[in-house]
Structure 1
């Protein structure tokens, strides 16, 4: 347990380092955009390749895709029902932020510390269902309530999903795994080297993006959002933890997965749909802090 808490402390220090580098103007927030592209398009896919090439994918893991997908739909429509009396802008902002999770950037480095490569496999399957929500439902909700006129169809959604390198990597490597095929050693070796950078770069990026300035007029709305996201997520996560007849790692994935921060995709969506970007960014940062504390607490209990 001491070693586990020490690893968590190292994660906090790296996040803090990223925050200090930005506050001291050594790095700027716009530098995070380039860093995020490197993570999502290079180090994260490399980590997915290495992880799924080493572990046998059990058929029960596909239920994680289903649970993640169904929960996203449920939480999205529940949010719109709760916010039915709010204006369109609020419905669009909160409605697109509640359903999806930040797994690639936030969960992977911490899950790797807690559960190792096995944890990456389980959360990877959970993230496949999450991808349909992030690139599908969240985008649809944001576009529907946007001030701009949007033409959204099935082709647009499929196009966005096909351009997600992590999502396409999931599909390809899982298929290769299920077919019993093996990637060339040179691909696995190079991916192994690149994937080692995913954890420190992801944690640094979290620190670079930390920002907590917001208008006090949004405080009530923020509390409503946090209640929907964490109240519902924790309640359903705990319920499934005790009801599902699967192994502990499966249950841990559900319990932790449903309290992860909101997806980073909501930031570019807020720009595209002309929502309050500062509010969306601040709320995203608040979920990072809350999820980090909750994850540390739950991990200590589970460990």
Structure 2
């Protein structure tokens, strides 16, 4: 338990360092875009290669993918129902913020430090399904309710999915695993060296992007959105924790994954579809803080 608390404390300090560096103008928020590209396209895929190149994928791991997809679709439908009375653009912005989780950037650093490769294996399989939701369902929602000249067709959606380096890494490495094709030793050595940087860079990036400012009068909408994510997520997570007959790590994964922050991809989507970027960014940051302390509390009770 002491190591668990220590890891959360170290994570807070690294996030705070990123925030202080931004506030002191030593790093600009726009610098975070370059850093995020490094994390999502280099350090995170390297970590995935190291984690998945030789794991044994059993039934419970496949079930994590299915649960992530089913839950994401269900949340998308629930979001459309709850926000049905909003204007088209507002409904599009809010509904794409309901499904999908920030796993690669937010959860992986904590999971790696607390549970190591074993934890990454479970959260990674959940993220496989989550990636299909984020790059498929969430993108389609954002596009469908955007202004007509900003909507995307199926070809654009498929192009977006095909350019996701983490998703492609999942597919390639897991396919090689299934077919017993070994990853070359040189690639493993390089990936192993690079993957070490994923945790500190991810946490620094969270601090750089922290920002809390939103228009007056939006509190009720924010409260409804956060309730959809956290009350529903926590209720489903607790139910699955006690009902499913699987190993502890499987249950920990579901309990914690369903209360993770909004996916980082939602912010660039809001730019692409010309939604309220300030609102999206602020709410995303709020979920980072809420999820951080929720995970700390949940971890304290179950570990």
**TM-score interval w.r.t. the shorter chain?**
over 0.9
Please give the alpha-carbon distance, in whole angstroms, between the structure 1 residues aligned to 2:272 and 2:184: 40
Shift of 1:159: 1.2
Match of 1:245 in 2: 245
Query: What are the superposed Cα offsets for residues 179-206 of structure 1, whole Å, 9 maximum, x if unpaired?
Result: 2221111110110000000000000000
Please give the alpha-carbon distance, in whole angstroms, between the structure 1 residues aligned to 2:255 and 2:90: 28
The secondary structure found in structure 2 opposite 1:216 is: coil
Unaligned 5+ runs, structure 1:
none
Shift of 1:54: 4.1
Please give the alpha-carbon distance, in whole angstroms, between the structure 2 residues aligned to 1:158 and 1:270: 18
Q: Which has the larger displacement, 131-140 or 20-29? A: 131-140
Match of 2:49 in 1: 49
Shift of 1:147: 2.4
Please give the alpha-carbon distance, in whole angstroms, between the structure 1 residues aligned to 2:256 and 2:14: 22
Q: Which has the larger displacement, 191-200 or 246-255? A: 246-255
Q: How does 1:103-182 map to 2 (within 5 A)?
A: 103-182=103-182
Shift of 1:158: 1.8
1:15 touches 1:203 (CA, 8 Å); kept in 2? Answer: yes
Unaligned 5+ runs, structure 2:
none
1:93 touches 1:270 (CA, 8 Å); kept in 2? Answer: yes
Match of 1:186 in 2: 186
1:148 touches 1:273 (CA, 8 Å); kept in 2? Answer: no
Shift of 1:118: 0.8
**Moved >4 Å (runs of 4+):** none
Please give the alpha-carbon distance, in whole angstroms, between the structure 2 residues aligned to 1:41 and 1:276: 26
Q: How does 1:67-82 map to 2 (within 5 A)?
A: 67-82=67-82
Match of 1:226 in 2: 226
Shift of 1:2: 1.1
Q: How does 1:258-273 map to 2 (within 5 A)?
A: 258-273=258-273
Query: What are the superposed Cα offsets for residues 264-285 of structure 1, whole Å, 9 maximum, x if unpaired?
Result: 1110111111111000000000
Match of 1:200 in 2: 200
TM-score (ref. length: structure 2): 0.98
Please give the alpha-carbon distance, in whole angstroms, between the structure 2 residues aligned to 1:38 and 1:103: 16
1:144 touches 1:150 (CA, 8 Å); kept in 2? Answer: no
Match of 1:11 in 2: 11
Note the aligned Cα RMSD (angstroms).
1.1
The secondary structure found in structure 1 opposite 2:124 is: helix
TM-score (ref. length: structure 1): 0.98
Match of 1:65 in 2: 65
